[in-house]
């Protein structure tokens, strides 16, 4: 009898363990998992940390979701992609295979998003936050995004250079090992040439590699060409060093860039040398007209009283809410149904405005141009699509 009781107890214990491991829909004990893969170490850690702040804030304020009349607790599972494409793919692999997440958010850096997207495609839907390269979603109907694209951003900055700065010639400085930088540089170049009506308006395109810290060769070329404007989209650290060294060499030409510059590290590295530089971005507190925008700003200031909310933080906040909204509308934790619900996102009002996804899974959003003045990011103008 004792032996039978022990066997029965062992069987019941095993059943309990297996029941707790989850179910076909990926849930366990009424828990939904949202995976996050971001560069939290390495060259792009500053950007990844800012996006994660927004995701975590949205999670703090929205910890449950109703699915098919049942309340689920939302759990964040965060993976560090270490500012590396291979690690980005590995991080997503772990989120999908080991952590059994229901949706994936990220990553800061289009190259990392593309690498991760190849792993999650056909398995788990993903939502990009600030990955602006068109290739992130092109041909991948499991990847979506809540930000504008580089073709729009390139147009915005080309117009700013031509109309606001009166530039007729330009030199482009691109981070050749960075998909985002190369793509945005091309879109700027194409649009700037059209605006000027001069096929030779871009006097030169010079390259550097991620991690470079010395730019004397590139700056020598720039000085010899004497352009009206320098367009230098790239990672915030390298861009700040480039601008700093340009100013120290006496180059006074306006230098403009893209959304990656809006990080505290850009000003920390560049100091007062980056004053006057301008860039396009996704969000400005001056246009925080939605209730969600006010909630975002108020709650962010409570947690970070001495920091200004970055645009990518607002996008992280919105990405989380879009994911929850889709899960709720899907009425299921089935990945295909959630993917379908995300694809139908329309008129979703968040911190960064209204999000409606097109047939490629891309959002159409306004761009905001900011400059650095007195060690702060200052709003200059808004550009609607």
Q: What percent of the chain has pLDDT over 90?
A: 90
Tokens of 160: 């700013």
pLDDT at 80: 98
pLDDT at 286: 87
Nearest to 58 by CA among 295, 282, 281: 295
- Secondary structure E strands in the chain: 31-38, 64-67, 70-80, 103-105, 126-128, 143-145, 170-175, 202-208, 229-231, 255-257, 278-281, 348-350, 353-355, 367-373, 376-383
Say how many CA atoms lie within 13 Å of 300 toward its Cβ. Answer: 25
Distance CA 31, CA 22 (A): 9
**pLDDT tens-digit series, residues 334-344:** 999 999 999 99
Cα torsion 233, 239, 245, 249 to 10°: value is 20
Tokens of 245: 């060294």
**Is the pLDDT reported for residue 20 higher than 80?**
no
Query: Which residue has better confidence, 28 or 57?
Result: 57
**pLDDT tens-digit series, residues 367-384:** 999 999 999 999 999 998
pLDDT at 28: 57
H helices of 45-175, where? Answer: 45-61, 85-97, 110-120, 150-159
CATH of 27-148+289-366, picked from 3.40.50.800, 3.90.550.10, 3.40.50.300, 3.40.50.2300, is 3.40.50.2300
- CATH fold of 151-281 reads Rossmann fold (3.40.50)
**Is the pLDDT reported for residue 21 higher than 50?**
no
pLDDT at 295: 96
**pLDDT tens-digit series, residues 87-135:** 999 999 999 999 999 999 999 999 999 999 999 999 999 999 999 999 9
pLDDT at 287: 85
Q: What residue ranges do the domains of the chain occupy? A: 27-148+289-366, 151-281
Helix (H) or strand (E) holding 284: none
Nearest to 208 by CA among 247, 237, 249: 237
**Is the pLDDT reported for residue 60 higher than 50?**
yes
pLDDT at 321: 98
Topology alike, domains 27-148+289-366 and 151-281: yes
In 3-state terms, what secondary structure has residue 350?
strand
**Is the pLDDT reported for residue 17 higher than 70?**
no
Q: Which of 105-119, 220-234, 276-290, 307-321 has the lowest mean pLDDT?
A: 276-290
Parallel/antiparallel/unpaired status of strands 367-373 and 376-383: antiparallel
pLDDT at 289: 81
pLDDT at 8: 38
**Is the pLDDT reported for residue 5 higher than 80?**
no
**Is the pLDDT reported for residue 9 higher than 60?**
no
Q: Which of 227-241, 276-290, 317-331 has the lowest mean pLDDT?
A: 276-290
Query: Which residue has better confidence, 218 or 289?
Result: 218
384: number of Cβ within 10 Å: 8
**pLDDT tens-digit series, residues 133-185:** 999 999 999 999 999 999 999 999 999 999 999 999 999 999 999 999 999 99
Q: What is the pTM of this model?
A: 0.89
Distance CA 193, CA 272 (A): 31
The model's confidence at residue 288, banded by pLDDT at 50, 70 and 90, is confident
For 218, residues 6+ apart whose C-beta sits below 8 A from its C-beta are 173, 206, 207, 208, 242
Tokens of 309: 């909310």
Q: Are 196 and 162 in contact (CB under 8 A)?
A: yes
The overall average pLDDT reported for the chain is 92
């Amino acid at each position: 009898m004792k032996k039978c009781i022990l066997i029965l107890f062992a069987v019941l214990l095993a059943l309990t363990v297996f029941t707790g491991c989850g179910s076909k829909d990926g849930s366990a004990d009424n828990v939904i998992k949202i995976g996050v893969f971001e560069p939290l170490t390495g060259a792009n850690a500053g950007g990844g940390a800012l996006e994660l702040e927004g995701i975590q804030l949205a999670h703090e304020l929205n910890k449950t979701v109703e699915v098919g009349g049942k309340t689920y607790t939302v759990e964040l599972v965060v993976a560090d992609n270490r500012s590396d494409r291979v690690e980005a793919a590995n991080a997503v692999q772990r989120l999908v295979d080991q952590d059994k997440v229901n949706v994936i958010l990220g990553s800061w850096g289009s190259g990392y998003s593309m690498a991760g997207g190849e792993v999650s495609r056909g398995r788990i839907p993903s939502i990009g936050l600030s990955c602006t390269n068109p290739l992130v979603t092109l041909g991948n109907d499991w990847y979506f995004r809540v930000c504008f694209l580089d073709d729009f951003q390139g147009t915005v900055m080309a117009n700013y250079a031509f109309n606001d700065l009166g530039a007729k010639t330009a030199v482009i400085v691109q981070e050749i090992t960075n998909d985002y930088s190369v793509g945005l540089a091309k879109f700027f170049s194409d649009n700037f040439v059209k605006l000027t009506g001069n096929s030779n308006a871009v006097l030169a395109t010079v390259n550097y590699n991620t991690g470079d810290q010395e730019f004397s060769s590139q700056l020598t070329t720039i000085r010899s060409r004497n352009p009206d404007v320098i367009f230098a989209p790239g990672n915030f650290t390298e861009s700040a060093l480039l601008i700093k060294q340009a100013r120290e060499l006496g180059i006074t030409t306006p230098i403009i860039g893209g959304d990656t510059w809006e990080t505290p590290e850009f000003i920390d590295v560049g100091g007062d040398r980056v004053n006057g530089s301008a860039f396009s971005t996704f969000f400005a507190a001056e246009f925080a007209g939605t209730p969600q925008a006010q909630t975002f700003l108020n709650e962010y200031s409570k947690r970070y009283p001495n920091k200004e909310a970055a645009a990518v933080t607002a996008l992280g906040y919105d990405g989380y809410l879009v994911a929850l909204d889709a899960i709720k509308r899907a009425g299921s934790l089935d990945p295909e149904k959630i993917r379908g619900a995300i694809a139908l996102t329309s008129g979703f009002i968040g911190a960064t405005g209204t999000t409606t996804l097109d047939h490629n899974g891309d959002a159409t959003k306004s761009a905001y141009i900011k400059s650095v003045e007195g060690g702060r990011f200052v709003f200059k103008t808004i550009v609607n699509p």
